[in-house]
Amino acid sequence: MPASRRPALAAAFLLACTAAQATAAAPAQADAGLIAAAEDRSQRDGSGALLRLQILLDRARYSPGEIDAVAGSNQQRALRGFQAAHDLPATGEVDDATWRALERDERPVLVDYTLTAGDVAGPFAALPDDMMDKAAQEALGFESLAEALGERFHASPDLLRRLNPGLDQAGAGSVLKVPGIDTAPPPKAARVVVDRSESVLRLLDAAGRTLAQYPASTGSERDPLPIGEWAIATVVRAPTFHYNPDLFWDADPNHSKARLAPGPNNPVGTVWIDLSKPHYGIHGTPEPRSIGKQQSHGCIRLTNWDAGAVAAAVDRSVPVTLQE
């Protein structure tokens, strides 16, 4: 190679490397922008404002489902519920009055969390899709660290990866940015109401005021919600799922009855609230992003964390109303 070309090639190589580094760093810069916008209360538009909105709704016990910084139907349901409870026009759209009501909570919406050895130890493993293959598993745990942390902080794994580039390779001692959720359970409910038309479950006090609201999948045309008044038979945490294909119209004809191990990826999630209507209950899910969007087989399906909150607020004395 002529010596005269070496400096030019070296400069070009350096420029290319610098460009590649800048491209690789872009997601981290975007994540920093998202974090700053979420904490900046003057921001009313964009993904940062949506992230702040969803965290504040979650803390107010008007769950937007999976916190993801993306506008959607569950966010609108949460806003309508919050607005109605605060004597605001229940439009499902956030306005200045709604922001003022939500931002009475002045705590930071994002907080630091330090990963522990237990967090990263897992074990994490990909799970099969087929029900019979699932039944062969000794446990139905989390498939990734991001999924486990998503459930703990009520967030989508994709959002946590946006906030924390390199999350999947993070080790114990790593400091993450996560939604600053509340972990205190809701007050004891006097009644549970599931509204099919709104796709929500509400906890009410003795005066009929809403204590908390959660998005829910509430049956389908083929498996409708059993409208009426029901009782709570029992509350089971970490339930075993007893699969009976005869109860599912869309079951594989080659399937047989099976027992599926407990775990967050169990078909009914981490909580089963058994109702007096046989084979029906309020329960969690392995697919939180589907809540309020996909139909169920007649049961009331919530995110695992919302099902846990409901379980903490009820017992056998609390009636359940399923309504249109």
CB-based contact 283:158 (threshold 8 Å):
no
Both 239 and 275 in a single domain? Answer: yes
Mean pLDDT across 85-104:
97
Range of the domain at 310: 191-323
What was the pLDDT predicted at 297?
A: 64
- How sure is the predictor about 113, in pLDDT bands with cuts at 50, 70 and 90? very high
Confidence (pTM) = 0.88
- CATH code for position 286: 2.40.440.10
What was the pLDDT predicted at 27?
A: 38
What was the pLDDT predicted at 44?
A: 94
What was the pLDDT predicted at 163?
A: 96
Both 175 and 89 in a single domain? Answer: yes
Mean pLDDT value across the chain: 89
Length of the chain: 324
Both 222 and 277 in a single domain? Answer: yes
- As for how many domains the chain has, the answer is 2
Both 122 and 240 in a single domain? Answer: no
Domain final residue, candidates 183, 200, 219: 183
Mean pLDDT across 246-273:
91
Both 197 and 265 in a single domain? Answer: yes
How does pLDDT run across 203-231, given as a tens digit for each residue?
Answer: 999 999 999 999 999 966 777 899 999 99
Question: Does some domain include residue 12?
Answer: no
How many whole angstroms separate alpha carbon 242 and alpha carbon 259? 5
How many whole angstroms separate alpha carbon 32 and alpha carbon 178? 13
CB-based contact 289:295 (threshold 8 Å):
no
How many whole angstroms separate alpha carbon 201 and alpha carbon 206? 16
> In whole angstroms, what separates CA 297 from the centre of its chain?
20
